[in-house]
Amino acid sequence: MATNSTFQLFSPSSAASGFFDSSTEPPPPPPPPPVEVLSSEVSLNVKCSVESVNLEDGLTLLKGRVSTKEVFGLPNSDLVPGVYEGGLKLWEGSLDLINALQAEVRNGHLSFSGKRVLELGCGHGLPGIFAFLEGASAVHFQDFNAEVLQCLTIPNVNANLSEKLSPSTSEDASSDTEGELRFFAGDWSQVHQCLPHANKREKDLSCSLGHSPHSGYDIVLMAETIYSISAQHNLYSLIKKCLSHPGGVVYMAAKKHYFGVGGGTRQFLSMVEKDGAMAASLVAEVADGSSNVREVWKLSI
The domains found in the chain, sorted by start residue, are 12-165+177-300 (3.40.50.150)
Q: Are 59 and 98 in contact, with CB atoms under 8 Å apart?
A: yes
User: Residue 269: pLDDT band by 50, 70, 90 thresholds?
Assistant: very high
Q: What is the DSSP letter of 260?
A: T
Which of these, 203, 186, 183, 296, lies nearest to 250 by C-alpha position?
Answer: 296
Dihedral, 126, 119, 83, 37 alpha carbons, nearest 10: 90
Half-sphere exposure of 256 (CA within 13 A, CB side): 9
Judged against a pLDDT cut of 70, whether residue 58 lies above it is answered with yes
State how far the Cα of 207 lies from the Cα of 204, in Å rounded to an integer.
Answer: 6
Give pLDDT, residue 245.
87
The model carries a pTM of 0.84
State how far the Cα of 119 lies from the Cα of 126, in Å rounded to an integer.
Answer: 9
Q: What order do you get walking across the sheet with 35-37 strand by strand? A: 35-37, 180-185, 138-143, 116-120, 219-223, 249-255, 294-300, 279-286
Give pLDDT, residue 201.
66
User: Residue 83: pLDDT band by 50, 70, 90 thresholds?
Assistant: confident
Question: Comparing 31-35, 109-113, 139-143, 194-198, which segment has the lowest mean pLDDT?
Answer: 31-35
Q: Are 110 and 99 in contact, with CB atoms under 8 Å apart?
A: no
- Mean of the per-residue pLDDT values for the chain? 84
% of the chain exceeding 90 in pLDDT: 62
Question: Comparing 57-66, 79-88, 146-155, which segment has the lowest mean pLDDT?
Answer: 79-88
Q: Over the stretch 91-146, which tens digit does the pLDDT of each residue have?
A: 899 999 999 999 999 999 999 999 999 999 999 999 999 999 999 999 999 999 99
